[in-house]
Structure 1
Amino acid sequence: MSEFHQVQMLEVDPDCAGQRIDNYLMSRLKGVPKSRLYRLLRKGEVRVNKGRVKPEHKLQAGDLVRVPPIRLAQEGDLVPIGAELAERLAQAIVFEDDWLIAINKPSGLAVHGGSGVQIGLIEALRQMRPEIKFLELVHRLDRETSGVILVAKKRSALKALQEQFREKSEQMTLAGIRKTYLALVDGQWPAARREVNEPLLRTELANGDRMVRVSAEGKPSKTLFAVVESLQGATLVEASPVTGRTHQIRVHARIAGCPLLGDEKYGIDLINEKLKRKGLRRLCLHAAKLSFLHPTTEQPMVVEAPMPDDMAALLEALRCS
């Protein structure tokens, strides 16, 4: 990292109209931790047209954004991607065209660097594919979650796809975007419990970590669940979030009395020695399928990611119990 000693004045171009200020900053201040950017916004050090703004403020074409002196990642500071990770990610691409990449993200890999993470999925892809001038995450997956994630190769594709995600999150609709996860949960999932519909409130702890809880003050949140297979002391379930809240599946599963195996944040001491011997090493949540409309043709698309070996091995071990 090196110091950037001058104030930056950024004029918002028409392509970025409607973009949130926090997302705008993250796309331009590569390598700056997300928590640092939010701190700058809270303190009013970032100004739009000379005024303070909140992270959710939406920019308009021609807006003037003032960015204070800040530590920025320089090209020489990049952490080189290892050959093993590069090969693993190359093999994990499940779809690619001129507009987007769909990749089966491994568990344990953050989607982007920052907050103690030296390199994430997007930084790795940029190093692997330097010939692609534009590469941006369309959405997020928790670091511990594996599965399908979309990366846009053009700004127009990014805007079109993010609009589909935004409509899903705000309008609680299954049109367009549909996510399907596979999860291993503790105990026997109640067959009659087909959905959990409880509002969720996200809070940020002093260390920057996020916690989510059920609260009447939270946002409407709904997840559909279906039993795929009953196992000894566990259940394989399919989870389809109708809304897109942080940690939604994990919190809703706990509400139903069946927290996810390997969930150190919302589980109930589930990483015990018996499960470790069976191969439990991770959060048992996998984004198996993503349905959406192609950003240019608007044709329905479905991309799928096979269950990773570690989760599949644990599933087989539970079957043999």
Structure 2
Amino acid sequence: MVTADLKLTSQVHNYSIHFITISIHNAGQRLDNFLRTQLKGVPKSLIYRLVRKGQVQVNKKKSKPQYKLQSGDELRIPPVRQKDNKPLVSPRLGKVAVLTKALLYEDDHLLILNKPSGTAVHSGCRLSFGIIEGLRALWPNATFLELVHRLDRDTSGVLLIAKKRSALRLMHEQLRMKSIKKDYLALVRGQWQSHMKAVEAPLMKNILASGERIVRVSNDGKLSKTYFQVEERFTFATLVKASPVTGRTHQIRVHSQYTGHPIAFDDRYGDRKFDHQLKSCGLNRLFLHAVALSFKHPASGERLRIEAPLDESLRNCLLYLRTYHKEKS
């Protein structure tokens, strides 16, 4: 039950309370900072009052704004209206409809999607819609839907969602043990050298004044490693399979740029001249796709490999390159 005082009743409504399990990607953030990214449009003063009065709870207990979240923490967020009086979760019907066609696998423990490019995995700063919000609209009776891992907004492909807290915990343990194998397909500039099978370059994340995240190779950064394998060659580009060992922000994109082979249509780390060469193929999105994930099922222990087909724009791009720019052997 929501126990709001009278001063908050104009901003608290009867929509469902939300429970979020903190992933390893959000661990270490202050509670107040995390809430500000989740409760877009909600006044900062109201967020602090909700925390102070115990309406926001961590592991069913009252917490302080400066508390640093830990992986596995369960966060209770009361129903709140935004400044424009719209509900906090207001999925766009068109994007929700797309998700119904993106389902790759579902059982009592996991839900797996072929995430479309251009859709964030979670709503947040400047974003009113994310995969999780859409899924909660499609599965209104689901008591638990949380991301096992993340994909960049413009990256498409296999995305794991846990339907039970026990499944989330076991999948996070596999991530920590690096036993989940992730394979991506990326179209990169130039001729990738076959002998370059692994890139080990420490990565450091920087937040610009605009709030944009930029990742750079730095000796002060975190250990990062990606395996690469040539899949197909074209006259001015290479299709590679990238398999990250670590899971740093923008890792494949930055490692590709670092080697001199930026990914096609990467608006942060790419090359506009390379993108222009691909203009005729009609591509207008980042060519990075999580094509397959291999992991142990959290209940049965069976090893599963889930594959996600390329979308039409990526398929058409490859068809164009194979027709007009196939490298001669």
**Aligned counterpart, 2:145:** 135
For 2:195, the aligned partner's letter is A
Distance in 1 between residues matched to 2:79 and 2:87, nearest whole Å: 17
The two structures have a TM-score, normalised by structure 2, of: 0.77
The answer to whether residue 100 in structure 2 is matched with residue 90 in structure 1 is yes
SS of the counterpart of 2:272?
A: coil
Distance in 2 between residues matched to 1:144 and 1:219, nearest whole Å: 23
* C-alpha spacing 1:52/1:81, structure 2 compared with 1 (3 Å): closer
Deviates more, 1:205-214 or 1:215-224: 205-214
Deviations 1:101-135 (A, max 9, x none): 01000000111112111111110111011121211
The two structures have a TM-score, normalised by structure 1, of: 0.79
For 1:296, the aligned partner's letter is A
The answer to whether residue 292 in structure 2 is matched with residue 289 in structure 1 is yes
Distance in 1 between residues matched to 2:30 and 2:297, nearest whole Å: 22
**Aligned counterpart, 1:81:** 92
Distance in 1 between residues matched to 2:30 and 2:135, nearest whole Å: 19
For 2:246, the aligned partner's letter is T
Task: Give the fraction of aligned pairs with identical amino acids, expressed as a percent.
Answer: 43
* C-alpha spacing 1:186/1:130, structure 2 compared with 1 (3 Å): same
Distance in 1 between residues matched to 2:155 and 2:139, nearest whole Å: 24
CA contact (8 A) 2:30 2:67 kept: no
The answer to whether residue 196 in structure 2 is matched with residue 193 in structure 1 is yes
CA RMSD of aligned residues (A): 3.8
Distance in 1 between residues matched to 2:114 and 2:31, nearest whole Å: 26
Distance in 1 between residues matched to 2:22 and 2:154, nearest whole Å: 31
**Aligned counterpart, 2:246:** 243
CA contact (8 A) 1:160 1:295 kept: yes
The within-5 A match list for 1:18-97 is 20=27, 22=29, 31-33=38-40, 52-54=66-68, 57=70, 76-82=87-93, 84-97=94-107
The within-5 A match list for 1:1-321 is 5=8, 20=27, 22=29, 31-33=38-40, 52-54=66-68, 57=70, 76-82=87-93, 84-168=94-178, 176-270=179-273, 272-321=275-324
* Structure 1 runs not aligned, ≥5 long: 7-12, 169-175
Distance in 2 between residues matched to 1:17 and 1:31, nearest whole Å: 14
Deviations 1:219-248 (A, max 9, x none): 111000000000121110000001111100
For 1:278, the aligned partner's letter is C
CA contact (8 A) 2:39 2:88 kept: no
Distance in 2 between residues matched to 1:284 and 1:206, nearest whole Å: 28
Distance in 2 between residues matched to 1:17 and 1:263, nearest whole Å: 26
* C-alpha spacing 1:294/1:122, structure 2 compared with 1 (3 Å): same
